[in-house]
A and B are shown apart, each in its own frame.
Chain A
Amino acid sequence: MTATQPVRGAGIEPEPAGEPLDVPPTAKARTSGGGLSLRRLPYLAVLLLASVLFLYPFLWLISASLKPRTEVFDNSLLPRVWRWANYSDVWSYAPVLQWVTNSVVVALTAAVTVTISSALVAFGFAYFRFPLRNLLFGLVLATMMLPGAATMIPVYLIWHRIGLTGTQVPLWAQNLFGSAFYIFLLRQFFLSLPREYFEAARVDGCSFFGLFWRIALPLSRPALVVVLVFEIQASWTDLLRPLIYLQDPNLFTLPRGLKAVIDTFGNGGEQHWEIIMAASLIATVPLIVLFAFAQRHIMNGIASQGRKG
């Protein structure tokens, strides 16, 4: 995206515009003068220092997860004794593998359902003209302001009435009905697609659903990936809902399980911090891997929230 182009797609480009967005053009223009200039050195120094501050806790986490209990607070980055057994201990103390599986299943289900449902709704708002459209879209946006804590209790009671508390269903099933932020994001994207594509398809006798399924979706891959990844992350790190809905440890997701491990082994318990650190790392690594693969999309998705349009 360039600064002059009208921004319709909330900062995410339609598929054909395949320009890598890692480095925005304005920045690129500035660097075109050549490599490292002396003027930039102080800035680089500041950034290096900040990077150490941001990365060191990670390294500390990895290191602590490999130390014997007595050395956790030693703060040396290299363990004197490498205690790989911490990891086998975690697996034997707690059903971590089960939790990882649960988290993967819940996160993927949540992400796929919310992407499809939000895309449907977004397409409805983007393509059609119909009465009450502004009012309804205003309502969509308004629900974003609604704090989740406000509806936590009645939503729980609804699931309770349906008889699904104690299962993983409430962790994702609300996603069948779309999510306001994603609807907004995808609608903006759909609006940026050339309308002629759809007109032409209509002339060829394509159904409305066909427009959505065969034209809008395939052209919107970058935006769909953003939604998928955001939702996977949100679901993967969610603590509150699993706390409310899950009682059987075998159904726990990773954050809920990790919290149970902390309660048992942490403060006020046995203080086996090395076990907790190992479990924390296990919970973190899958997201880092996801990030490694989807970095470009994540960055663009986030950046789009602050860009002016």
Chain B
Amino acid sequence: MSIDRRSFLFGASGIAALTIAGCGGVRQQTSPTASSGAGSVTTQGFGKPDDVGQARIDAFKKAHPNITVRINEGDFDPQQFLSSVASGNPSDLVYLERGLIGTYAAKGALQPLDDLISELDIDTEQYRGPAMRQVTVDDKVYGIPEFYNTRNILINGKAMREAGLSPQDLSTTDWNKLHANAAKLYQAKGAKISRIGFDPKLPEFLPLWAKANGADLVNSDGSPNLDDPKTAEALAFAYSLISEQGGWSKFKAFRDTWDIFGAGNAFVKNQAVAFPWEGWYVNVLVQASPNLDLQSVPFTDRQGKPISFCDGSAWALPKGAKNAKAAVQWMKTMTATETWMQAGAARAATVAKNKSMFTGLWTANVEADHQVQDKYVKPSGRAGFDQAVSHYYASTETAFAVNSSKAGSEIKTAWTDAVNRVLAGRQAPEQAMRQAQSEASKAYSALK
């Protein structure tokens, strides 16, 4: 099984030292070449690659035989990253959420890439605007964006039909209707939930709910904007969906038991009817449960206009990285159009082998996405899946990103904590968001 989510696998056999140079025992002389910065680079935060990741690593290996790459597997861990920077012994590359870049740049834990970008002639125009804005701080570029996740609503078609509903009935346009339908689809026996009707995905999707109600969590200048009444209203609504369906503690405990990646996933076992999720989950579903009756509908604002918020990972250069040039060369190659095309070919091969379908690649590289889509995304005969894929392609063009901020991480912590306080029943939405705003403002002004 191969999954878009890069963190799925942890690492082949311990030291997944991908000795990219001199494979097969041929000792290679590390002759530094001026253009790419020879030597070796290590990564941090990049889990064991799947087929798509591996194809791109292979592409890099072919293009730059004089650079050795060592992948340190494991998810990005802020504490681990900061310690390695502080101890003066960081990896050459770090792979992290774009939303964190502002904070780490402001802390001085990351280096700006502008000089190397122009030296290595990287065309930053090829990357999607929202993604580039996320990695830009004070007009300096601190990261090269890689994937591009957007959200739409995925629906368990069978359960939906049995309840006499259509996908539109689970759209986020009409909140009252959505609330009623979620309650209708929710099932429980006594204190035990057996099915969730609609999961608003709190706290992580608050930016989406706020935007649907016309509010941004972060202003375009990077200052926090958490106490907008429209945000509190959106939170109150999303929270009402959860309280309607058993309340947070039961809701979350039930969700914790799901087999998200397996053949017994929540749709197959009729444990869930609908939730917004990232596009890679379509690939998970088609691999794990190819016969699923999948339905989908775009996430919309209250006027019915499709919106989606995007995020994704980026490559960045830690302060003190020893081989900066080779590291940026890696970033360039890993995100280049031709590299993505090779990744597309690898995924197509996997799909053919599994007699499955190609569910698309969503990257921060516009041209790459178009080429991959044109070449590989074909009608599969699974209408529901095809439609879901087209929804994700559509939302990729319209998605917004949470504005970047030097206090990005602190702001996110503030609103996440606020939502958790609301979920735990400790605070009302307005009160929680007001407290979040004051925490975030403090962090933001401390950086000035």
Whether A and B touch (Cβ < 8 Å) is answered with yes
- Interface residues, chain A, with chain B CB atoms under 8 Å away: 68-70, 73, 91-95, 97-98, 160, 163, 165-166, 243-244, 247-250, 260-261, 263-265, 267, 269-272
CB closest chain-B residue, reference A271: B260
Q: Is the CB of A166 within 8 A of B257?
A: no
CB closest chain-B residue, reference A157: B86
Q: Which of B221-266 contact A (CB under 8 A)?
A: 256-264
Q: Is the CB of A271 within 8 A of B72?
A: no
A-B CB contact pairs (8 Å), 19 listed? A68-B262, A69-B264, A70-B263, A70-B264, A70-B269, A92-B13, A93-B48, A97-B14, A98-B15, A160-B87, A165-B87, A244-B83, A247-B44, A247-B81, A247-B89, A249-B72, A249-B73, A261-B10, A272-B261
Q: Is the CB of B77 within 8 A of A95?
A: no
Q: Distance (Å) between the CB of A247 and the closest chain B CB?
A: 4
Which of B14, B81, B89, B262 is in CB contact (< 8 Å) with A70? B262
Q: Is the CB of A94 within 8 A of B259?
A: no
Q: Which of B59-114 contact A (CB under 8 A)?
A: 72-75, 77, 79-81, 83-84, 86-87, 89
List 15 extra interface pairs beyond A267-B256, A272-B261, CB under 8 A. A68-B262, A70-B269, A73-B257, A93-B9, A95-B11, A95-B14, A163-B87, A165-B83, A166-B87, A247-B89, A261-B10, A263-B75, A263-B77, A264-B7, A271-B261
A76 to B343, CA, bound (A): 43
- Leading 3 A-B pairs by shortest Cβ distance: A95-B14, A70-B264, A93-B10
A73 to B253, CA, bound (A): 12
Q: Distance (Å) between the CB of A104 and the closest chain B CB?
A: 15
Q: Distance (Å) between the CB of A142 and the closest chain B CB?
A: 31
User: Does residue B165 face the partner (Cβ distance < 8 Å to A)?
Assistant: no
- Interface residues, chain B, with chain A CB atoms under 8 Å away: 5, 7-15, 44, 47-48, 72-75, 77, 79-81, 83-84, 86-87, 89, 256-264, 269
CB closest chain-A residue, reference B74: A249
Give every chain A residue within 8 A of B260 (Cβ-Cβ).
Answer: 270-271
Q: Distance (Å) between the CB of A60 and the closest chain B CB?
A: 15
Secondary structure at the B interface, as helix, strand, loop or mixed, is loop
Which of B14, B75, B258, B263 is in CB contact (< 8 Å) with A264? B75
A196 to B274, CA, bound (A): 82
Give every chain A residue within 8 A of B75 (Cβ-Cβ).
Answer: 260, 263-264, 269
Contacts A70-B259, A247-B84, A264-B47 given; does A269 touch B7 at CB 8 Å: yes
Secondary structure at the A interface, as helix, strand, loop or mixed, is helix
Q: Distance (Å) between the CB of A266 and the closest chain B CB?
A: 9
Contacts A244-B83, A264-B47, A264-B75 given; does A250 touch B15 at CB 8 Å: yes
Give every chain B residue within 8 A of A244 (Cβ-Cβ).
Answer: 83
A250 to B47, CA, bound (A): 14
Q: Is the CB of A160 within 8 A of B86?
A: yes
Q: Is the CB of A69 within 8 A of B10?
A: no
A243 to B78, CA, bound (A): 12
Q: Distance (Å) between the CB of A260 and the closest chain B CB?
A: 5
Q: Distance (Å) between the CB of B347 and the closest chain A CB?
A: 20
Give every chain B residue within 8 A of A92 (Cβ-Cβ).
Answer: 12-13
CB closest chain-B residue, reference A73: B257
A250 to B71, CA, bound (A): 11
Contacts A244-B83, A247-B83 given; does A260 touch B74 at CB 8 Å: yes
Q: Distance (Å) between the CB of B16 and the closest chain A CB?
A: 8
Contacts A95-B15, A271-B258 given; does A166 touch B89 at CB 8 Å: yes
Contacts A95-B13, A98-B15, A264-B47 given; does A270 touch B261 at CB 8 Å: yes
Q: Distance (Å) between the CB of B276 and the closest chain A CB?
A: 16
Give every chain A residue within 8 A of B12 (Cβ-Cβ).
Answer: 92
